[in-house]
Amino acid sequence: MLLPPLAVLLVGGLLALFAYSPFVTVGASPNYPAIVSSPPADSLLSNSGYAQNKLSPIFTAEVQYWGNQIVTWAAEYGVDPNLAATVMQIESCGHPRARSSAGAMGLFQVMPFHFAATDSPYDPATNARRGLAYLARSLASAGGDARLALAGYNGGIGVIARGEWSWSAQTMRYVRYGAPIYADASAGLESSEALNEWYLNYGVSLCRQAHEYIGLP
């Protein structure tokens, strides 16, 4: 029996709908640092990671060590834990006693003037709360744009309103790595080309020290 023309169109439309799947499976690689192509960073930068209750697997073991705490700390300030983990990765690689030549301290490399007189700057929870409070302010000033928020975290919130040509080389480098690392974490990838590049260029010694300090096998 022939179907009326309208019924044919409806059946064809339903078959096309069920044939389409918006999900793409990303293959996992068991070895670090493995290289996986990253999506364009600016296409994924928002304040919503691929999972709000756990970290992406792209972060190194030293950062994963703090995973449960990162989720808890980030929730206090309404920050995506994967954005918080991106900052920790670049700042200290999870070393709670890290200190920069400029005097920044701890897991989130917080400058001394952000602490109260009664604070213990190297206490992980205290350090995280001071750092993430500033990250949340930076994110708000950036209108939710994580790339600009990372620039503000590194260079001071004032840089968000300025042209990128005026950013310091350090802030440019921070965003160059931080934005695609966060994008890869948000996309649910199993590893990150940007994080691997950062690790090879800047993270080997830092992460080794963190690894030894926190006693990972």
Catalytically active residues, by annotation:
91
H-helix segments, the chain: 5-19, 61-64, 67-76, 81-91, 124-141, 146-155, 169-187, 193-198, 204-213
Q: Would you say 198 and 32 are in contact if contact means Cβ atoms under 8 Å apart?
A: no
How far the first Cα of the chain sits from its last, in Å, is 71
Tell me which amino acid residue 128 is: A
User: d(Cα 190, Cα 136) in Å, to the nearest integer?
Assistant: 26
**What sign has the CA pseudo-torsion 140, 40, 75, 71?**
negative
User: d(Cα 43, Cα 58) in Å, to the nearest integer?
Assistant: 18
User: Residue 111, Cα to own-chain centre: how many angstroms?
Assistant: 20
